[in-house]
Chains A and B, each alone.
Chain A
Amino acid sequence: MSSLHQFHHTARRSLASIVVTAAAITVNHLYSLGPRALLLGGVLVLLPTALLLWFRRTGNRVTLVGYAAVGAWIVVGFGLYKGLWLGVLRLFVGSGLAVVSTSFPKPTIGPYPFEASGILMFVGALFVAHFGFDFVRAALATTDSEPRSRAEGTEPSTHRGRYLGVAGALSAAGVVAAYTVAARDTFVPPANGVVTIGVIGPVTGPYAILGNSFVKALQMALDDLRGTRYRYTLRIEDSGPDPAKARSHVKKLVEDERVDAVIGAVSLIGQVTKPFATKASIPHLCICTVATIGDGAYNFTNIPSPEAEAVRWVAEARRRGIRTIAILQQDYPSINNHVKAMKTEAARQGLRIAYDNRYADSVMDFRAIIAEAKRVRADVYYTEALEPQLDVLAQQLADSGVTNIASVVAPSLSTKPWLFEGAWYTDSDLSDMAFKRRFEAKYPGTQFATHMMPYAYDSFNLIVRAYEQGVNPAVYLRTVRSYVGVAGTVTKKPGSGNFASAPTVWTITNGKPALLRDETVSRRAEGTDR
């Protein structure tokens, strides 16, 4: 084969490998860049094509260097770093290591087209490297006054394949070993002996009641610490109620101030915090109900699940002889999850949904909805909302004479719980009522929101326990199967990111939340139990 023929042959193969790999890169980056990925793909195809044509016309070696540089960008940046390290190794080696040991996080897995295109980026880059090398050698041969013998297509030695195989196997083993070392979460003693725990939640806006009592529960947990090896501090950041605006607050806490762990409140904010915690390899305990936030790697939820609430709620409804339910609920992720789980469990137990209304959080006049719901004469009105709609709805229900109200959690978040007098609802169990009394004595102006407080308190102590034992806190959370705290016994299945606990039934009695079991005992003592 002449050197000119060799030049054209290798150029075609090199460019073809770049075009195919650029296609995989484009598909892969659609997930992170959106339509801008097409621009990236266009650059990756057009730039080397232009440089190749220019080199063919002029023989200018600068254009050849440019072509090789684009090839190196594809090979190193997209093929080896993103395709191999962040793609193939994460997917296969990372998943395998997580099965073997809790010292390794379960990797985040994307949709199949994303993962497949990552693999093809890596494989394609190997061809780009191989054909690019052949092309550059052939190109240099055509411009050299004395063509090199290898560029003329000299057959490789019989040992070449064997050497390449051995080198490839050793390289693969080395890369897997390096990934294993890099992926392992090890304990790093805190700088200056101080562990900074980031606290992120909405302490202003409609979630202020939840957010403030959440922060106070963590402060109480901090104040209760005695004789610890390390010193612990809280770095409190108000996320505000808007997830879009919360992003900058989470970024500030995790990336700029590099806190050692995060405890967060409310699902909407937890969803924002999750990728930041994963990227920083720090544990994030979310006191929230959206189970997908808990990936079991760095993110965990710690609160009764909607399914657990539903089982308890329906059991109580059946105990009370309820057969039909009217639902009046605000459109909000955690409320939607509660209602969805309740409907599933109700259907399983033969309870009928007679009326179902999910209203937007802008609705403040519920009178038409209530009138419509009353027409079906359901046995109970399931109502769930956040403030300020919650109390407006409660007032309008009271005004229209509706008293048979039940809920999940909501009445404990009300600023006017007396509007729910007689209502029953499921909420977190509080095995240690002294905790609530201590809280109310310590923070007399702060409402105790049962739904989150004991879990916030216990979550803080879980992180403290990890540091005091000299264990990486994320590894500790992956490993722990159960703990006993102020929220009672909480369990977690292997590999799960959700701590599970059993809720209980509360009532609003004398304008205040009270445990049903305490009320029952009290009524029996008074001889008024029916």
Chain B
Amino acid sequence: MTSRTRVLIGWAVVVAILLGGAYVIVARNGPTAGSEMPSVSAH
């Protein structure tokens, strides 16, 4: 396994953990309606 492959796998794992963690948090605490969205503007 080349170092480039290892780096790619590392990034994929990090992103998967972040997206999976976000899914769990949203499922537990997320909004039931779009009106609950945090409001942000283009800076």
Closest partner residue, chain A, to B40 (CB atom): A32
**Count of residues in B whose CB is under 8 Å from the partner chain:** 25
Complex interface residues of chain A between 71 and 116 (CB less than 8 A to chain B): 77, 81-82, 86, 88, 91-92, 95, 106, 108-112, 114-116
**A109 to B31, Cβ gap below 8 A?**
yes
Which residues of the other chain, B, contact A443 by a CB distance below 8 angstroms? none
Closest partner residue, chain A, to B27 (CB atom): A112
Complex interface residues of chain A between 267 and 299 (CB less than 8 A to chain B): 271, 275, 278-279, 292
A40 at the binding interface (Cβ < 8 Å): yes
Cα separation A483 to B38 with both chains bound (whole Å): 31
B18 at the binding interface (Cβ < 8 Å): yes
A123 at the binding interface (Cβ < 8 Å): yes
**A111 to B37, Cβ gap below 8 A?**
yes
Closest partner residue, chain A, to B38 (CB atom): A108
Which residues of the other chain, B, contact A115 by a CB distance below 8 angstroms? 22, 25-26, 30
**Count of residues in A whose CB is under 8 Å from the partner chain:** 30
**A88 to B18, Cβ gap below 8 A?**
yes
A119 at the binding interface (Cβ < 8 Å): yes
**A110 to B29, Cβ gap below 8 A?**
no
Cβ-neighbour of B18 out of A33, A82, A123, A271 (below 8 A): A123
**A40 to B42, Cβ gap below 8 A?**
yes
Cα separation A33 to B43 with both chains bound (whole Å): 11
Complex interface residues of chain A between 24 and 70 (CB less than 8 A to chain B): 29, 31-33, 40
B15 at the binding interface (Cβ < 8 Å): yes
Cα separation A292 to B33 with both chains bound (whole Å): 10
Q: Mark B1-43, 1 if CB is under 8 A from A, else 0.
A: 0000000000100110011011101100111111111111111
**B43 to A81, Cβ gap below 8 A?**
yes
**A292 to B36, Cβ gap below 8 A?**
yes
Which residues of the other chain, A, contact B29 by a CB distance below 8 angstroms? 95, 106, 109
**B38 to A95, Cβ gap below 8 A?**
no
Which residues of the other chain, B, contact A91 by a CB distance below 8 angstroms? 21-22, 25
User: Can you list 23 A-B contacts with CB-CB less than 8 angstroms, sorted by A residue number?
Assistant: A29-B40, A40-B42, A77-B43, A88-B18, A92-B21, A92-B22, A109-B26, A109-B29, A109-B31, A109-B36, A110-B26, A110-B30, A110-B36, A111-B26, A111-B31, A112-B30, A119-B22, A123-B11, A123-B14, A123-B15, A278-B38, A292-B32, A292-B36
> Which A residues form the contact surface with B (CB < 8 A)?
29, 31-33, 40, 77, 81-82, 86, 88, 91-92, 95, 106, 108-112, 114-116, 119-120, 123, 271, 275, 278-279, 292
Further contacts, 17 of them, CB under 8 A, given A33-B42, A106-B29:
A91-B21, A92-B18, A92-B22, A95-B25, A109-B36, A110-B31, A110-B37, A110-B38, A111-B30, A111-B37, A115-B22, A115-B26, A119-B18, A123-B15, A123-B18, A275-B38, A278-B38
Which 10 residue pairs of A and B lie closest in terms of their CB atoms, listed nearest first? A108-B38, A115-B22, A109-B30, A112-B26, A119-B18, A110-B37, A109-B29, A32-B40, A77-B43, A31-B37
